[in-house]
Structure 1
């Protein structure tokens, strides 16, 4: 077992015992990353703060049920809780405009081009994702970052699979347009 794994396991044991210093260390270690994850789903900063607070409470309360599976598993488990809480917030606020589109309104999804983010700073990419309409952003995040299938996304969000595919296609098209505008703007400078 590596040094980092031993440190994570010790931190887990301390948190389970209610050690506030260990909880603060966990928060300091993971809050930046988990804020970024949450911000991919929610654009309102107050919603992000609320979801993170609720997520950390759930994380600390469920820490004794967590099964340590090696380095990275604690981060993945915490990420899953944050994503689930963000999705719950989206559903509760009913801000998401995810509709089942009749088949004649579905875009032609034969265009399989992917947005090229290679030369774009990460902060700019995250802002572009945050600027997507809520439904597009949610489907994009679940598909790209959480690696969910359209079937899984449809089940999670209560929409049809073809709506998930349509929302993803539209999100990618919007991102490609934004990337093109960003590149043109930065060439002129």
Structure 2
């Protein structure tokens, strides 16, 4: 169904449009929620909350061309996940190592990462501490800058940068351990 027609049907509260929206985007939104929640049960709850918020907010949606509906509902879903993390104080910033330069980490090349199954990589991301995982998702997947992340999470830019660095270091270590265990 065309995005504009789908959005208009949802705005009017049409059940067929709502069902079509759900069927079209549930998998994608569940994936977003999984990246932030870290477990499927919580992610499903967050996705449900996101759809409720989306259905109730169609009067504020403005069609801006192909892909604008998807971008809009993904943004709402990310915000629902961030609200959940904030409400549970799961975004507490780790203290920075003041005065100590962080050791550079040689990240694996894309070819190495491509050999690892997607579900294994997603499990590694899900196992990151909440703050690391959130900053990693916002920066690497959603494409936000450290300034934007700092504003969204109520932390300073250096904390965002530090948490991303630590997330990458942990992921690099996990990838190397996996490669060694699999003989890659």
Q: 1:71 to 1:13 in 2, by over 3 A?
A: same
* CA-CA distance at 1:179 after TM superposition: 0.9
Using the TM superposition, name which of 148-157 and 116-125 deviates more: 116-125
Q: 1:114 to 1:63 in 2, by over 3 A?
A: farther
Aligned in 2, Cα 1:60/1:13: closer, same or farther, shift over 3 Å?
Answer: same
Pairing partner for 1:184 from 176, 180, 183: 180
* Equivalent pair of 1:100/1:160 in contact (CA under 8 Å): no
Name the structure 1 match of 2:142: 146
Q: What is the RMSD of the two structures over their aligned residues, measured on CA atoms?
A: 2.0
Q: Deviations over 1:131-175 (max 9, x none)?
A: 111111011011101211112211211222111111111100111
Using structure 1 for the length normalisation, give the TM-score: 0.87
Asked if the contact 1:40–1:130 (Cα under 8 Å) also holds between the matched residues in 2, the reply is: yes
1:104 counterpart = 2:110: no
1:12 corresponds, among 7, 10, 13, to 7
Change (3 A) 1:132 1:177: same
Q: CA deviation at 1:130?
A: 0.5
Shift of 1:11: 1.5
**C-alpha separation in 1, matches of 2:109 and 2:84:** 28
> Could you say which residue in structure 2 is the equivalent of 1:172?
168
Query: Which residue of the partner structure matches residue 131 of structure 1?
Result: 127
Paired residues of 1:100 and 1:159 also in contact (CA < 8 A) = no
1:61 pairs, out of 56, 60, 77, with 56
- Judging changes above 3 Å, is the alpha-carbon distance between structure 1 residues 171 and 92 closer, same or farther for their aligned structure 2 residues? same
Which aligned pairs between 1:9-48 and structure 2 lie closer than 5 A? 9-48=4-43
Gaps of 5+ in 2: none
Number of corresponding residues: 182
TM-score (structure 2 length as normaliser): 0.89
| Aligned partners of 1:115 and 1:176 also within 8 Å | no
Between 1:7-16 and 1:114-123, the stretch displaced more is: 114-123
The answer to whether the Cα contact below 8 Å between 2:39 and 2:126 also exists between their aligned partners in 1 is no
The whole-number CA distance in structure 1 between the counterparts of 2:10 and 2:53 is 13
